[in-house]
Amino acid sequence: MANGAPTQALRRLADCWTRGDADGAAALFASAAMYSEPPRFRFAGRAAIHAFFADFAARHHAVSFTILRVLERPDGALAAAEWRFAHTRTADNTRATYEGSAWIELDAAGLVTHWRGYSARVEPQAP
């Protein structure tokens, strides 16, 4: 796997989140991948990850996912990322913004095998 693979995967994931593309987002994960954001979320396998993305996309709009920084191991198999994520809940039009980080492991094909993220809600910053 080439160096830069984690950053490329994160950019594709950010694009999928923004467009509400659950199929595209799930396709970035290996079939037996683990996705967790303790203490709330833990999903095992691409099908469960897809269901999570699809449910989220069905209930939210105006999504943005900005990658602030990525630190990669030279072989591209492990990365730490820092990001900002915002969305509007469709049911009540409530806007929420989060900042967080994640440890991401990738296989030789560049698919995410393990995502362990942490985030906290923050007040949105003025443009």
pLDDT at 2: 60
pLDDT at 123: 83
Q: Give 10-residue mean pLDDT values along the chain (127 residues).
A: 81 95 97 94 96 97 96 94 96 96 95 96 75
pTM of the model: 0.91
According to DSSP, the β-strands at 112-122 and 29-37 are parallel
pLDDT at 25: 97
pLDDT at 103: 97
pLDDT at 5: 85
pLDDT at 87: 96
Let me know the angle formed at the C-alpha of 73 by 68 and 78, rounded to the nearest 5 degrees: 80
